[in-house]
Amino acid sequence: MTIFEAILLTIVTASTPLLIAALGELVTERAGVLNLGVEGMMAMGAACSFAAAVSFDSTLLGVAAGILAGAFMAALFALVVLGFAANQVGSGLALTIFGLGLSGLIGAPFVGARRDPIPHVDVPILSDIPYIGRLFFEQDLFVYASFALTILIAVYLTRTRSGLTLRSIGENHTSANALGLPVLRTRFLAILFGGACAGLAGAYLALVYTRFWSPGMTAGRGWIALALVVFAAWRPGWLLIGAYIFGAATVLQLHAQAAQFGVPSQVLSAVPYLATIIALLLLSLRHGRAIGAPGSLGTPFVPDR
């Protein structure tokens, strides 16, 4: 494997957690709920998956724990924003603060532990495609899962009855409610799905990307995932492209730091965050305002009578 190939491989690894977390948030937002707690759910997914994987020496149980932890956090958020119709921005932020703190508590006994790399699965025939074959078809199962998830969500949102229901609830919850669509139940499931995805993304970070636990290891990836949803104009296909652009930016700045160009490492570390701002700015410059945003995004649903 050449160095070039190695760099491309790490880009795939860096992009996958962004893609998975952003896909979950995309579904949540399409249902009209803005959950700013991605970073916290992701941190909880990372801590719980790592704790479970080390305790039971099983990657599978680790992944399950990560997904459950994300979904549990999301259920807490759902209780507050759906059950009490509380402010979504504030509640999401609270979820992030809570998740970052609680993940530190859960992960503390496991600082210093390490996991072995998980096996890569070779897809026959496809992995023989020159250039991209080894890159995309000789990967771990998470990478395949992220591609499958992208396609499934795209199909679900545009081609299924339930997906259309979810979108109409996100566009206008008052009309949807008048039509007898189950607003709260759909939103609850969408929030849970978002949490499970964020938890899975966290599990990937802890079990595959770093293979150890450290507090604050999500390092703003949850927030970047949120920005990606805006960047992708709430479309799964664009999300895939956006996640890979950001994954590439993250990996390239790491290599630039290693190469020591004489630029302070902090300048390069700031690249993903500045890139996020610039991406949002360019998007607004092209379209005037954020296009594709669900109409009811972020507004609590209280049926009037």
Q: Can you give the binding site for another protein, defined by CB under 8 A? A: 36, 40, 76, 80, 82-87, 89-91, 93-105, 108, 184-185, 215, 220, 223, 226-227, 230, 264, 266-267, 269-270, 273-274, 276-277, 280-281, 284-285, 288-290, 300, 302-305
Residue 138: CB minimum distance to another protein, A: 33
Nearer Cβ to another protein (84/261): 84
Beta bridge partners of 138: 122
Give the end-to-end CA distance of the chain in Å, rounded to a whole number: 66
Closest CA to 259 of 268, 250, 271: 268
Nearer Cβ to another protein (187/235): 187
Residue 281: CB minimum distance to another protein, A: 6
Nearer Cβ to another protein (1/302): 302
CB 74 within 8 A of CB 19: no
CA distances 275 to 74, 239, 255, Å, are: 28, 16, 17
Any idea what DSSP says for residue 116?
A: P
Residue 123: CB minimum distance to another protein, A: 36
Nearer Cβ to another protein (110/142): 110
Residue 45: CB minimum distance to another protein, A: 16
Residue 228: CB minimum distance to another protein, A: 10
Query: Which residues, 6+ apart, have CB-to-CB distance to 138 below 8 Å?
Result: 120, 121, 122, 123, 127
By residue count, the chain amounts to: 305
Nearer Cβ to another protein (116/304): 304
Q: What are the φ and ψ backbone dihedral angles of 263, each rounded to 5 degrees?
A: -90, 135
Nearer Cβ to another protein (134/187): 187
CA distances 296 to 260, 290, 299, Å, are: 47, 14, 6
Residue 73: CB minimum distance to another protein, A: 10
Nearer Cβ to another protein (91/146): 91
Residue 95: CB minimum distance to another protein, A: 7
Nearer Cβ to another protein (14/63): 14
The Cα 5–Cα 7 span in angstroms is 5
The token duo for 17 is 């957690």
How far from the centroid of its chain's Cα atoms is residue 187's Cα?
Answer: 18
Any idea what DSSP says for residue 122?
A: E
> How many C-beta atoms lie closer than 10 Å to residue 224's C-beta?
28
The Cα 144–Cα 9 span in angstroms is 14
The Cα 133–Cα 90 span in angstroms is 44
Residue 59: CB minimum distance to another protein, A: 25
The token duo for 222 is 């949850």
